[in-house]
């Protein structure tokens, strides 16, 4: 059973990302370094789904993997569906910047030598079509298109970016301004899905709230938001569902309502995370997430889990329990069958 019969906008089925690296500085042998393994998460229409994980756990790579922007030495496995359609590298090139928009994490994502207004106008046309590049109008033309100029101005005005900001270079913008610029650039197309990678740090509370409200309003139009963040409180505030990211994989996906009490949560790590929150006792969990090079077999949380058993070292499938999913041997729910939607 599923707790929603809404249409899937994004479905990620057992995504794996690994990097080929030289073993060490003297060796010419390459080894494969897995950074994301068997990650599954889905976004339905009208939903904000937050992928919550600690800093440096490879969350940003998830966004890059969906958008097909991983560096050349990366290998991927698993499948990604967008509106029920398998996202091939060709499809993602067609959709990104149009039907799928990206709000990046850091302020270095703006070209230091181009005025911000011009940069925001420079993306793909709102139709999300195949018009960019060969045969299409060059972006220089689009940057001066009056329609796009109007839209960009309206979006800037909505986020309190004055008309002078249009002609500013990124180095002249404050951190908060840059965040807003990045956000507006995602809204320039008419996306059905926004992938936002830590969109709020550097914004003041009011502004962070405002951008979250905008994500909410955007999702309420029947669209989807995948919010990648380390900020679980922010996630609890705005998201509908939360996917907990641990050591390169999602160990639990639960509706926000399940975070009301520890008993409703499934995975031991999620419970530990819950206990670590200030309002729930502020209890830290000893230990750290394993580094990719010494990942334990089976459950990545195993070495820190109080209920560790021999079974935990084996293959653990993602299973549906209640309205969420979990990857833990203690549960014997329905196995997750992503493909049923595409039959």
Would you say 319 and 2 are in contact if contact means Cβ atoms under 8 Å apart?
Answer: no
Q: Could you tell me which of 166, 216, 218 has the C-alpha nearest to residue 189?
A: 218
DSSP symbols for 222-260: T-EEEEEES-HHHHHHH-SEEEEEETTEEEEEEEGGGGG
Q: Which of 34, 46, 58, 98 binds other proteins (CB under 8 A)?
A: 98
Of the two residues 111 and 220, which places its CB atom closer to other proteins in the complex? 111
DSSP symbols for 52-65: E--TTSSHHHHHHH
Of the two residues 110 and 254, which places its CB atom closer to other proteins in the complex? 110
Residue burial 296-307, b: 16+ Cβ < 10 Å; e: rest: eebbbbbebbee
Number of amino acids touching other proteins (CB under 8 A):
37
Site string for other proteins, 180-219 (x = CB under 8 A): --x--x--xx------------------------------
CA dihedral in degrees (155, 132, 65, 338; nearest 10)? 90
CA 97, CA 120: separation in Å to the nearest integer?
11
Report which secondary-structure segment, H or E, holds 193: strand 193-197
Smallest separation (angstroms) from other proteins to the CB of 91: 13
Smallest separation (angstroms) from other proteins to the CB of 61: 12
Q: Could you tell me which of 125, 123, 120 has the C-alpha nearest to residue 181?
A: 120
Q: Which of 8, 44, 59, 96 binds other proteins (CB under 8 A)?
A: 96
Contact between 152 and other proteins (CB under 8 A)? no
Q: Which of 24, 26, 27, 71 binds other proteins (CB under 8 A)?
A: 71
Of the two residues 52 and 101, which places its CB atom closer to other proteins in the complex? 101
Of the two residues 190 and 307, which places its CB atom closer to other proteins in the complex? 190
Give the footprint of other proteins on residues 125-144 (CB under 8 A). Answer: 128, 132-134, 136, 138-140
Smallest separation (angstroms) from other proteins to the CB of 103: 9
What burial class does residue 125 get, using C-beta atoms within 10 Å of its C-beta: 0-12 exposed, 13-18 middle, 19+ buried?
A: buried
Tell me which residues touch other proteins (CB under 8 A). 64, 67, 69, 71-72, 96-98, 101-102, 104, 106, 108-114, 122-124, 128, 132-134, 136, 138-140, 169, 171-172, 182, 185, 188-189
């Amino acid at each position: 059973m599923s707790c929603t019969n809404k249409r899937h906008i994004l479905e990620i089925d057992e995504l794996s990302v690994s990097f080929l690296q030289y073993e060490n500085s003297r060796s010419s042998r390459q080894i494969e370094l897995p950074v994301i393994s068997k990650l599954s998460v889905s976004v339905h229409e009208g939903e904000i789904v937050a992928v919550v994980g600690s800093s440096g756990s490879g969350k940003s790579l998830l966004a890059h993997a969906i958008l097909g922007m991983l560096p050349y030495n990366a290998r991927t496995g698993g499948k990604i569906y967008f509106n029920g359609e398998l996202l091939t590298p060709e499809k993602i090139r067609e959709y990104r910047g149009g039907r799928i928009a990206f709000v990046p994490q850091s302020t270095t994502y703006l070209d230091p030598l181009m005025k911000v207004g011009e940069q925001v106008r420079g993306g793909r046309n709102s139709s999300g079509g195949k018009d960019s590049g060969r045969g299409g109008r060059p972006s220089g033309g689009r940057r001066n298109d009056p329609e796009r100029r109007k839209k960009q101005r309206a979006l800037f005005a909505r986020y309190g970016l004055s008309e002078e900001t249009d002609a500013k270079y990124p180095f002249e913008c404050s951190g908060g301004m840059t965040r807003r610029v990045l956000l507006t650039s995602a809204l320039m197309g008419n996306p059905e899905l926004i992938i936002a990678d830590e969109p709020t740090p550097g914004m003041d509370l009011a502004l962070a709230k405002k951008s979250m409200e905008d994500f909410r309003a955007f999702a309420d139009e029947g669209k989807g938001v995948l919010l990648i963040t380390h900020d679980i409180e922010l996630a609890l505030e705005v998201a509908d569902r939360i996917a907990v990211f641990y050591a390169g994989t999602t160990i639990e996906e639960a509706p926000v309502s399940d975070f009301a009490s520890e008993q409703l949560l499934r995975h031991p790590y999620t419970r530990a995370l819950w206990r670590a929150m200030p309002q729930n006792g502020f209890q830290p969990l000893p230990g750290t997430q394993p580094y990719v090079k010494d990942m334990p077999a089976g459950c990545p949380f195993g070495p820190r889990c109080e209920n560790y058993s021999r079974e935990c070292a084996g293959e653990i499938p993602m299973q549906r329990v209640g309205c969420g999913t979990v990857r833990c041997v203690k549960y014997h729910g329905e196995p997750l069958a992503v493909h049923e939607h595409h039959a």
